[in-house]
Amino acid sequence: MKIYTRKGDNGETSLWNGDPIFKDESRVECYGTVDELNSFISVARESIENEEVVRVLTDIQLELFVVGGELATRNPEKLKAVVTQEHIWRQERIIDVFMSRVPDIHRFVIPGETLPGAHLHVARTVCRRLERRILWLTREEEVSDLVLTYVNRLSDTLFALALYMDMNETNSLHDTAANH
């Protein structure tokens, strides 16, 4: 199987429906950032032994294919799967579960007291960038509000998981109070 087509050699690619688009356009930047986020989540997942967290991350990765698919078309009504309110509620339930397992925080925490926590914080920051890129895209084209909301919740989910992993391994969170 060949993975190259030579069709992208001139700086163009195609959206899901075949419409041509330049590779540096904001829509491509968005779904490219989804791909990057998914890859960083893979790195995080592979550094984690906690089966519950691994399951959550795997489910998120599958959901990111829905997000990427929706961003890779201008006609999401033709897609089999789109981001729904249930996706957002699921993230909120995950956030609530994992935040209930860590102490309340009232200051910034130093990201990543452990390797899994650090990987999750990197994924979180990529997710925040994705959110900014989607917002940028909404100024040019229509994007479902649910996609933007989902990505916002996902960054909170990754933050909650990072805190949980750090607490789970070190039994503490290093906040910035000592420096202020």
Q: Give the model's confidence band at 62: pLDDT under 50 very low, under 70 low, under 90 confident, else very high.
A: very high
Cβ contact 69:79 at 8 Å:
yes
Residues of the chain with pLDDT > 90, as a percent, come to: 68
| For range 165-180, the mean pLDDT | 66
Pick the CATH number of 13-171 from 2.40.30.10, 1.20.1200.10, 1.10.287.3510, 3.30.1360.30: 1.20.1200.10
Q: Which of 5-9, 10-14, 55-59, 169-173 has the lowest mean pLDDT?
A: 169-173
Give residue 13's pLDDT.
83
The tokens for 23 are 């590779």
Average pLDDT of every residue of the chain = 91
Domain positions in the chain are 13-171
Give residue 158's pLDDT.
99
pLDDT digits (tens, 9 = 90+) for 94-145: 999 999 999 888 788 888 889 999 999 999 999 999 999 999 999 999 999 9
Handedness of CA 47, 44, 90, 68 (dihedral sign): negative
SS3 12: strand
| For range 78-106, the mean pLDDT | 94
49 pLDDT more than 70: yes
29 pLDDT more than 70: yes
Give residue 38's pLDDT.
99
Give residue 174's pLDDT.
56
Give residue 12's pLDDT.
85
Integer CA distances (angstroms), 100 to 59, 67, 119, in order: 21, 27, 21
Phi, psi (5° rounding) for residue 163? Answer: -60, -45
pTM: 0.91
Cβ contact 147:71 at 8 Å:
yes
- Cα–Cα distance, 170 to 31 (Å, whole number): 35
| For range 68-85, the mean pLDDT | 89
Summarize the chain as % helix, strand, coil (round to 5). Answer: 65, 5, 30
Give residue 105's pLDDT.
84
Give residue 9's pLDDT.
84
Nearest of 34, 28, 157, 151 to residue 91 by alpha carbon: 157
